[in-house]
């Protein structure tokens, strides 16, 4: 979990520094600097969401132990978006209008970022997300930032790796959402250029079902399993 913290700490600080320009949010009478967290804390993707929250919490504690930011302690306010775009919109709205956060981390799902993005943009609240679909950073938004490379880069490297390992027949199983579908499209395009054959292509709801089916395909040895998107 410390690995998550080392990654998140500079992002957390950067987001808060950007938010410092919102003088009303960082009024002198505020006891803490509040930053929101939105992610899947329940349901099939809860493991990823909880890991991200744990990492953010460790990063917050380290920053606070070092004196905080702008003379104040940092407070994380988490919300469970349940992997739902609707819940992400509700959580974003509540964090801004009720909790008075100065920045938001999340969601982990690109589709949720797309849904809630206009709310954060309207209020000029910085959002740092891990969603890898290129789509949401192509909206012309000014207050949204990605914490890692997008799926275009990832799929280019993945198909190159499959080709390097000599895997010519690929079983592709991915989540049926913005993240999974966009990655699959990119992988298909790159696979065709490298002469790879997609012999199985399935869309599934939820991380657990996707992983379980990938293991089943591998154990039955029907085809070479290149990678789960």
Provide the pLDDT confidence category of residue 222 given band limits of 50, 70 and 90: very low
Provide the pLDDT confidence category of residue 225 given band limits of 50, 70 and 90: very low
Full DSSP string of 70-126: TTBEEEEEEEE-TT-HHHHHHHHHHHHHTS--SEEE--SSHHHHHHHHHHHHHHT--
User: If you search the block for the tokens 């967290």, which residue do you land on?
Assistant: 37
Q: Is the pLDDT of residue 146 over 50?
A: yes
**Section 58-67 average pLDDT:** 95
The model's pLDDT over 14-23, given as tens digits with 9 standing for 90+, comes to: 555 555 445 4
The whole-number pLDDT of residue 15 equals 53
Higher pLDDT, 81 or 217: 81
The model's pLDDT over 92-108, given as tens digits with 9 standing for 90+, comes to: 999 999 999 999 999 98
The whole-number pLDDT of residue 212 equals 67
Q: Are strands 127-129 and 103-105 parallel, antiparallel or unpaired?
A: parallel
Assess contact for 20 and 70: CB atoms under 8 A.
Answer: yes
Domain with CATH 3.40.50.2300 in the chain: 2-146, 151-220
Q: Is the pLDDT of residue 166 over 60?
A: yes
In CATH, 151-220 is 2.40.340.10: no
pTM above 0.85, yes or no: no
For the 2-146 domain, the top CATH level (class) is: alpha beta
């Amino acid at each position: 979990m410390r690995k998550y913290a080392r990654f998140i700490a500079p992002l957390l600080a950067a987001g808060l520094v950007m938010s410092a320009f919102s003088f009303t949010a960082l009024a002198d009478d505020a006891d803490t600097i509040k930053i929101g967290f939105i992610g899947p804390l329940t349901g099939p993707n809860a493991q990823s969401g909880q890991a991200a929250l744990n990492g953010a919490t460790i990063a917050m504690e380290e920053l606070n132990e070092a004196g905080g930011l702008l003379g104040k302690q940092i407070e994380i306010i988490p919300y469970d978006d349940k992997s739902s775009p609707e819940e992400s919109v509700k959580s974003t709205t509540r964090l801004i209008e009720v909790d008075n956060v100065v920045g938001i981390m999340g969601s982990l799902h690109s589709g949720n970022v797309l849904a809630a993005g206009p709310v954060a943009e309207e209020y000029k609240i910085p959002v740092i997300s891990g969603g890898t679909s290129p789509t949401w950073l192509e909206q012309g938004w000014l207050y949204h930032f990605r914490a890692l490379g997008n799926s275009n880069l990832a799929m280019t490297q993945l198909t190159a790796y499959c080709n390097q390992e000599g895997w010519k027949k690929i079983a592709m199983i991915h989540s049926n959402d913005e993240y999974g579908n966009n990655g699959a499209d990119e992988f298909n395009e790159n696979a065709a250029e490298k002469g790879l054959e997609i012999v199985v292509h399935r869309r599934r709801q939820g991380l657990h079902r996707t992983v379980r089916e990938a293991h089943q395909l591998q154990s039955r040895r029907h085809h070479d399993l290149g990678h789960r998107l």
